[in-house]
Each structure stands twice: as structure tokens, then as C-alpha cells.
């Protein structure tokens, strides 16, 4: 090997980086102890930046392009080394290539539920997840604050820290938004902008920027979602009594079903009860009373101990339960009033406080409906008192 070949091998005259990993953010050019030749070619491709670090200090930063490393295009490094205009000697510096392209499809999500106050459901626990994209906005600052002396830095090494920042700001935005849970699906884009704006100052301190931010889903705990599904089902059913009657009629019409066999058994019980009542009528006297027995007055029967007791004085039969009255809520001037019974609403019709157009709601209804659409309440507006009697 000649002396010229040896000297040329000691100096680096071409510096470039080709990345095929798609997730490497910073890569240090390996010079293996060799010095960089004065006038060497530096190739920085689109989506890259080259940062020179000389003796532990960040020096010049180069954007995309082809450069001849000379004193006229390395002002910071020239100042650090106190090079004069005629300097032409090789120099030793570390060169870091920084990927400035957009890195997308990065995941974020709440590790623990976020507690928020919903205007309709009260305190709720929420979970959320989504994706975001980031890019290096300031290569020198990113190298100083995050990378340090790492020879190869990937996106996974910073994504965990960014996820913590995102979750913190998301929790704050959700808790202060006052947006109902049921309306969040229609406002995820606006919520995403709020979260992206909130995390921008903190991320900028790392030399990064959030290019895109998406909230894919905001969900409730499984138990709450199950109750919400039941509430939705009630709204779809509408009139619960009519729905139960329809189901019962369908079940009775199916041959061989439990309802059909039960119907036959019920008819047998009814027939037996009728026969028993008929036999009881035949056993009574001509006046509807049991025949008198020795020592027992008519209408009396033997009781334990020889005492007489009125006929039919067995175990008392409880009276039927009174029907449950439907109570109604009214929507008046954007506020809910009630509950009111039917008698209260009748008096309010007389006083002019309740009309056909008043919106009402009762348990079992999916939403607010005009009072005129409810047959039970519509009769309140058609029943009028008779005319007063003539004056004497």
C-alpha cells in the first residue's frame, strides 16, 4: 500500500445516510476514528438534517442538499475552532443525521380510566385511544434534549413519554369541556384539535411537533354500557305494555311452545274452578244458604271446639292491588317540572297551565312527546263540565 493510499484511507471524503428502517429518528455517522477531510462532500437528502457536534458542542446544522465542507459553509464550527480563512486541514467531528419526515400511526391510549363529570349521567369513568403523527421540528434541540450521545435513536424511545403528555392533556380537556358523553362521537375532531393545541408547547421543548392527532374512540365501562344498551332498548320498544302483549300473543300462537301447553293447563284450572262453584251452588239451600244442622244456626258452620262461625269465614281474601298511576314530567321553558298525577294535570288544564302542545314524559317513553299524542292525557282536553243549572 502506498503512502497516498494510506493517507486517503485515514480521511473521510463522503458523508451520507440512507435509511430503510422507517422508524429511526437519529443515526450517527460512523467515522471509526477517522478525520473528516477538508472539502469532503456531505449529502443530505429530503426529509433529513445533518447536525455536526464538535467536542461535545452542537455546531452547524445542514438541511437537504449537497455541501462541500469548507470554512465558508461551517460558520459555527469555524468559530469554535478559531479557524482562519486559509484553514484546509482535516478535522474530527461527530455527524448526526436526523429524520425530519412525518412519523405516523403512533398509538396513544388511557392506561387507567379518566374520571369526568357528565351533565346527564353524573360522574363517569372514560377510556380513550387514538393515533398521532410527529416530526422533528428543531434537529439541534431534539439532539440536545432527547438523544444525547445515542448512536441510533428510534421512535419507540420517545413515544412512551409523548403518550404520557397526551393522556395528561386529554384528561384535562375532557374534564373541562362539559361535553356530554353521548355527543363526544360527533365532536372527536374538535376534541383532537384541543388536545393537540394543549400539548404543542410541551412537545416543542423537545424539538418536536405533532403533525396529526386523532381520537378514535371514547368509551364507558362495560357495566355502564350494558345499562345504556338497556335504556336504548326501552326507547325502541316504546309502549312496554303493548310490547308485552304482542310477545305473549306470538308465544301463544306457536304450537308446542311452553305458552301453548301452559294455556291448556290454565283452561283446565278454570274449568275445574267453574265446576266447583256449580257444586257449591247445588249444596246450598233454596235461599242460597247451607242447610241447618243440629245445634248450628243457619248461616253458621262447625268450628273447632264446637263453636259456630259465619259461613265463609275462612282465611280472608286480600283485595286486589290498586292500579299504579302514571306520573308525568313536563318540559316548560327549557326546565323539567313534576312529577304530576292525572288529577294534577286536570287542574292545570283548567288553570291554563297545561295545554295540548306541552311536552310530557313518563317512565317507559323514549323521549318527550306532546300531551295531545298521549290518549290518556288527550281526554283531559275533551272532557268539559256540564252547563250550570238554571238560576231559580
pLDDT tens digits, one per residue of 287-340: 444 444 444 444 444 444 444 445 445 567 777 766 677 888 898 888 888 888
CA distance 97 to 49: 6
* Shared-domain flag, residues 111 and 44: no
* Shared-domain flag, residues 44 and 150: no
* Shared-domain flag, residues 358 and 376: yes
* Shared-domain flag, residues 87 and 133: no
Q: Which of 77-86, 208-217, 256-265 has the lowest mean pLDDT?
A: 256-265
Element holding 148 (H helix, E strand):
none
* Shared-domain flag, residues 127 and 176: yes
pLDDT attached to residue 340? 87
Residue 47, in any domain of the structure: yes
Counting Cα atoms < 13 Å in the Cβ hemisphere of 314 gives 2
- DSSP state string for 350-380: HHTS--TT-EEE-TT-SS-EEGGGSHHHHHH
**Partners of 114 in the β-ladder:** 126
Residue 61 has pLDDT above 90, yes or no: yes
Domain that holds residue 367: 328-382
List pLDDT tens digits, range 216-275.
988 887 877 787 777 777 677 667 677 677 777 777 666 555 544 554 445 444 545 554
- Final residue before a domain boundary, out of 82, 99, 116: 99
Phi/psi of residue 175, each to 5°?
-65, -30
CA distance 386 to 114: 63
* Shared-domain flag, residues 111 and 218: yes
Residue 29, in any domain of the structure: yes
Residue 245, in any domain of the structure: no
Residue 134 has pLDDT above 90, yes or no: yes
How would you classify residue 60: left for phi > 0, otherwise alpha for psi between -120 and 50, otherwise beta? beta
pLDDT attached to residue 255? 59
The CATH number assigned to the domain holding 219 equals: 3.30.479.30
Residue 358, in any domain of the structure: yes
pLDDT attached to residue 228? 76
pLDDT attached to residue 291? 46
In the chain, the N- to C-terminal Cα span, in Å, equals 143
Q: 3-class DSSP state for residue 205? A: coil
Cell of 50: 445533518
pLDDT attached to residue 309? 47
Total tally of structural domains belonging to the chain: 3
CA angle at 376 for the pair 371 and 382, rounded to the nearest 5°: 75
Residue 323, in any domain of the structure: no
Arithmetic mean of pLDDT, 12-29: 88
Report which listed range, 55-59, 82-86, 167-171, 313-317, is most confident: 167-171
Residue 264, in any domain of the structure: no
CA distance 305 to 390: 66
Residues in the chain: 392
Q: For residue 87, what pLDDT band results from cuts at 50, 70 and 90?
A: low
* Shared-domain flag, residues 141 and 205: yes
Of the candidates 174, 153, 162, the residue with the CA atom closest to the CA atom of residue 200: 162
pLDDT attached to residue 374? 87
* Shared-domain flag, residues 123 and 135: yes
* Shared-domain flag, residues 70 and 177: no
pLDDT attached to residue 392? 62
Counting Cα atoms < 13 Å in the Cβ hemisphere of 341 gives 3
More confident residue, 128 or 175: 128
Residue 285 has pLDDT above 60, yes or no: no
* Shared-domain flag, residues 76 and 124: no
Q: Name residue, grid cell 422533528.
A: 136
**Number of helices and strands in the chain (H, E):** 10, 18
Residue 310, in any domain of the structure: no
CA distance 360 to 231: 18
- What percentage of the chain has pLDDT greater than the value 90? 25
Spatial neighbors of 195 by CB under 8 A, at least 6 apart, are 166, 169, 170, 173, 213, 215
Mean of pLDDT over the chain: 78
pLDDT attached to residue 129? 93
- Final residue before a domain boundary, out of 193, 224, 255: 224
Residue 190 has pLDDT above 50, yes or no: yes
Phi/psi of residue 324, each to 5°?
-80, 125
Q: For residue 164, what pLDDT band results from cuts at 50, 70 and 90?
A: very high
pLDDT attached to residue 293? 46
- What percentage of the chain has pLDDT greater than the value 70? 75
- Final residue before a domain boundary, out of 49, 67, 99: 99
Arithmetic mean of pLDDT, 11-19: 86
pLDDT attached to residue 196? 93
* Shared-domain flag, residues 91 and 123: no
* Shared-domain flag, residues 110 and 212: yes
List pLDDT tens digits, range 339-380.
888 888 888 888 888 888 899 989 888 888 998 888 888 888
Strands 122-136 and 208-219, bridge-based pairing: antiparallel
Residue 85, in any domain of the structure: yes
pLDDT attached to residue 292? 46
Q: 3-class DSSP state for residue 83? A: coil
Amino acid at each position: 500500500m502506498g503512502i497516498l493510499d494510506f493517507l486517503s484511507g485515514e480521511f473521510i471524503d463522503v458523508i451520507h445516510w440512507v435509511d430503510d428502517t422507517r422508524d429511526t429518528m437519529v443515526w450517527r455517522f460512523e467515522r471509526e476514528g477517522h478525520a473528516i477531510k477538508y472539502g469532503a462532500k456531505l449529502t443530505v437528502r429530503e426529509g433529513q438534517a445533518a447536525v455536526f457536534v464538535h467536542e461535545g458542542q452542537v455546531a452547524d446544522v445542514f438541511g437537504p442538499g449537497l455541501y462541500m465542507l469548507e470554512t465558508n459553509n461551517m460558520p459555527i464550527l469555524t468559530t469554535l475552532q478559531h479557524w482562519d480563512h486559509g484553514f484546509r486541514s482535516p478535522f474530527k467531528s461527530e455527524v448526526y443525521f436526523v429524520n425530519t419526515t412525518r412519523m405516523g400511526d403512533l398509538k396513544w391510549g388511557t392506561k387507567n380510566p379518566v374520571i369526568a363529570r357528565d351533565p346527564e349521567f353524573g360522574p363517569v369513568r372514560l377510556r380513550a385511544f387514538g393515533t398521532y403523527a410527529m416530526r422533528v421540528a428543531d434537529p439541534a434541540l431534539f439532539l440536545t434534549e432527547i438523544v444525547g450521545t445515542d448512536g441510533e435513536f428510534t421512535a419507540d424511545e420517545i413515544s412512551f413519554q409523548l403518550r404520557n403528555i397526551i393522556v395528561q392533556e386529554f384528561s384535562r380537556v375532557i374534564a373541562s369541556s362539559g361535553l356530554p358523553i353521548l355527543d363526544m362521537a360527533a365532536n372527536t375532531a374538535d376534541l383532537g384539535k384541543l388536545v393537540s393545541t394543549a400539548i404543542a408547547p410541551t412537545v416543542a421543548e423537545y424539538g418536536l411537533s405533532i403533525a396529526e392527532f386523532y381520537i378514535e374512540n371514547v368509551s364507558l365501562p362495560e357495566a355502564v354500557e350494558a345499562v345504556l344498551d338497556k335504556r336504548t332498548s326501552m326507547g325502541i320498544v316504546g309502549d312496554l305494555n303493548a310490547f308485552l302483549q304482542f310477545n305473549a300473543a306470538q308465544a301463544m300462537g306457536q304450537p308446542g311452545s311452553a305458552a301453548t301447553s301452559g294455556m291448556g293447563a290454565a283452561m283446565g284450572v278454570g274449568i275445574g274452578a267453574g265446576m266447583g262453584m256449580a257444586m257449591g251452588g247445588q249444596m246450598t239451600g233454596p235461599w242460597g244458604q247451607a242447610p241447618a244442622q243440629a245445634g248450628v244456626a243457619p248461616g253458621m258452620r262447625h268450628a273447632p271446639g264446637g263453636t259456630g262461625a259465619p259461613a265463609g269465614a275462612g282465611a280472608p281474601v286480600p283485595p286486589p292491588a290498586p292500579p299504579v298511576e302514571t306520573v308525568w314530567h313536563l318540559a316548560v321553558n327549557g326546565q323539567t317540572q313534576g312529577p304530576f298525577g292525572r288529577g294534577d294535570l286536570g287542574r292545570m288544564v283548567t288553570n291554563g297551565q297545561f295545554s295540548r302542545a306541552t311536552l310530557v314524559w313518563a317512565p317507559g317513553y323514549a323521549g318527550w312527546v306532546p300531551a295531545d299524542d298521549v290518549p290518556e292525557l288527550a281526554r283531559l282536553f275533551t272532557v268539559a263540565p256540564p252547563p250550570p243549572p238554571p238560576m231559580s
